[in-house]
Structure 1
Amino acid sequence: MRTMIRLDSVEKTYASRGTRHTAIGNVSLEIAQGEFVCIVGPSGCGKSTLLNMIAGFQPASAGAITVDGAPVLPGTVPAGLGYLFQKDTVLPWLTVEQNVGLGLRFAGQPPARVAERVKSLLRLANLEPYAAYFPYQISGGMRQRTALLMTLACDPRVLLLDEPFGALDSHTKINLHRELHEIWRQLGQTIVMVTHDLDEAVALADRVIVLSGPPSRVLLDHCVDIPHPRDPYAVRETDAFGRHLKAIWSVLGREYQRTPDGTQTVIGAAA
């Protein structure tokens, strides 16, 4: 399968008060077209920084990043890339329908094309009844769905998600997992999602990447071989889900318990 995202020996170093701090030490990854990959790791390990470098928001200090075969240039978002932030980015003075179609209107799409595309997306995310509502009139989960549709409207080939469901209650979060999973299966984007929630990672992803504390390295590249489609509720009751969760936590849990001198055990890729 064709590689969509490639990171070769990527590092990120910051200067602070005359010293240099290495946030990301040496990360190499390949993510195939159409894969759903989750990145987990301790707080401060550079998960969001990694996404920002893939998106071109921040430059890498060393190494190389390519998206769909093209090098990522600092300050330039790769073609066909969408980004969903932790906090929804909907505009409060526009309705749900107007928010979803905003990018298409900026791109100069004909009104009929915008209306057709927006209607299709609202139906996909079960938001059609709320098309004329303003953000203050809908729930946090609906606002996040609207933000996701704003990103999807322009047909991104790559979708980067930075803890998009972290502020939601468990029930709303799992409902959104179901909708995101269905959208991914229908539209086929390559998805990279940062999360602190291991249940979320195992329920959704094809692979889970575990990063060490800073300076970050890949401790585990774990394949979640539970067949698709997965019901985000039912899958949590299966023996396979428990096995994958245990395998990932056995590595991540040790990382949370690193000794004060920073020593750690690096685990090779799991099948």
Structure 2
Amino acid sequence: MRLLLVEDDERVAAALVAVLGRHGFQVRHARSGHEALDALVPDGNEPYRVVLLDLGLPDRDGFEVCSRIRAGSGVPVIMVTARADIRSRIHGLNLGADDYVTKPYDMGELLARIHAVARRGAAPAAAAVAVDDDALPAPRGPLESRGIRIDRERRRVSVDGRDVPLTRKEFDLLALLAQSPGVVYRREQIFSEVWRSGWEGNGRTLEVHIGSLRTKLALPGLVEAVRGVGYRLIPESPAAAPAPDARPAAPATGTPPNAPEH
């Protein structure tokens, strides 16, 4: 597996290249943001499966490098940095990073995270050949709900025909919730499936992504927070005609029956 390491500290890079090499990775070391972007230009060789990106680079900030990578490539990016504050984490994830690891880190955990994002990057191809009846892949067709169309193959979202650009994580989060409108997804489950990590200490990250989805889709009431549990996508309103066992309509005044709790 080819891996691009973007790290300006020669001592850190040398140690990491040695360990990664012993685990079967072919590592190219880029010492600056400019060198990293040049390395990602297609050259006929096997593409990189993962980018390990430090943020403190000598020529430009790692956030800018991540943004430029994401604008032209879908290669998974793991930010590996000493910046442990929550704002940096949120900013990195919003820019499209697939994971965020703070220094110092456990090497075993970093290797596991590399393999995890690499598997996700290859997931569409793997799903096409899966034959295990006990672990069939989720359907890859478009999802549609409340005027929203989610094309999972092309990773595109539109609302009433209007294209809505989303970050990688925003798309994955929306696609997850849209699989079962009305079903509450626990925060732990969301982080496990979208971020492939635990949610402890990352609750603010989820709130930011939910808020961004509501704003970009221009549907403030689309995603409902279920206090103490998680989130759900509000399904389309049921038909106006009452069900056979429905009670008579409530008087015009007062609170309508089945009003949602806030």
Tell me whether the two structures share a fold, i.e. TM-score over 0.5: no
- Structure possessing the higher relative contact order (Cα contacts under 8 Å, 6 or more residues apart): 1
- Structure having the higher strand fraction is 1
Q: Which protein shows a greater Rg?
A: 2
Q: TM-score, normalised by structure 1?
A: 0.28
TM score, norm. by length of structure 2:
0.29
